[in-house]
Amino acid sequence: MSVIGEFFFADKYRIIVNIILFFAIILFVILIYLVCSRKISSFSISFKIMLNVMISALLSGIGYLFNWKNDNNNNLIFGEGIICPIQSVTLGLFQTSRESFLVVLSFLIFLNYKNPNINFDDYKKLIEIMTYLFGYGIPFIANIIYIVEGGYGKSHLFCFTDKNIISIIHYSYIIILVLLNFYFTFYIISHEVCCKNRDEDDVWDEEDTSCFNPLLNRLIYYPFAQIISLSGPIYYRINFIISSEEELLKDAAGICAILNCLSTFLHAFIFALSNNLLNCKKKEEIKENKNPLFNRDMELKPY
């Protein structure tokens, strides 16, 4: 089989991954076009964070395209040269940055929920700088350490963490990020489970009559996306540590890639839903809100 044939049809898992990513890239392009077609003079902090969550999810999925084992000869399509560490870094970096940005998003909403009178405008630049440092800086430094320690290499279907200790550190950190996001999100949910009267200065939409705040109605979907997208990788890594059966590990790696690639759709859909990108109305009046965490100056109400 030619290299092109191997790229598209290495095995059943590779075929499914290619199909998922093909449609995910199309969806991403459509959403970016919809964003650019709106009259926008500025973006809110939460909008920028959610955009980076979607981008990180997509790049994490695209990382699986760089290399793959052929089912017939058990060799990587593009060998173990420079492509292998590039794939490893892409998967490790953007998988971590996706969860890091989600923690920042849920933390800022949690902070605003606890103290609605916080003026985020006074700290907007600092918040953005800290957000990008946490979202991309820490994962980048971690990946440099993994490379120096020789923690990346050929796995059972693609290139990723090759040492058990690196795998444990990597996924332990991701699990901590997920748990933090769960805590911040479900803390707000537990306090919003019943309808409550809202003060005049509450940053949430005062005209909303649902039991949940408008932004929380969107934020609540992220934990489910995390469970789906990370269940495969965690399942694979557990088998990677406790099992030596080659076929079982290959199947686990394939499931890992498919579920992680599904996060490209899940996070793109949440982004579109949260910012009314699927709304057919061209214009919708918005109420002025002085809190830059939630509103951005555009024709369509983002939350």
Q: What is the pLDDT of residue 203?
A: 42
Averaged pLDDT for residues 44-73: 89
Average pLDDT, the chain: 80
Q: Is the pLDDT of residue 53 over 90?
A: yes
Q: Is the pLDDT of residue 178 over 90?
A: yes
Q: Is the pLDDT of residue 232 over 90?
A: no
Q: Is the pLDDT of residue 202 over 50?
A: no
Averaged pLDDT for residues 122-137: 90
- Find the DSSP H helices in 10-82: 12-37, 45-62
Residue with tokens 């934020």: 219
The CA-atom distances, in angstroms, between 256 and each of 78, 118, 145 are 21, 41, 24
- C-alpha to C-alpha distance for 108 and 123, rounded to whole angstroms: 12
Identify whether the C-beta of residue 189 lies closer than 8 Å to the C-beta of residue 216. Answer: yes
Share of the chain above pLDDT 70, in %: 79
Identify whether the C-beta of residue 49 lies closer than 8 Å to the C-beta of residue 101. Answer: yes
Residue 205 banded pLDDT, cuts 50, 70, 90: very low
Residue 118 banded pLDDT, cuts 50, 70, 90: confident
- C-alpha to C-alpha distance for 27 and 14, rounded to whole angstroms: 20
Handedness of CA 73, 78, 81, 85 (dihedral sign): negative
- C-alpha to C-alpha distance for 10 and 41, rounded to whole angstroms: 46
Q: State which amino acid sits at residue 169.
A: I
Averaged pLDDT for residues 50-66: 94
Identify whether the C-beta of residue 220 lies closer than 8 Å to the C-beta of residue 210. Answer: no
Task: Assign domain 3-274 to a CATH class.
Answer: mainly alpha
pLDDT tens by residue, 236-251:
878 877 877 878 888 8
Q: Is the pLDDT of residue 281 over 70?
A: no
Query: What predicted TM-score, i.e. pTM, was given to this entire model?
Result: 0.83
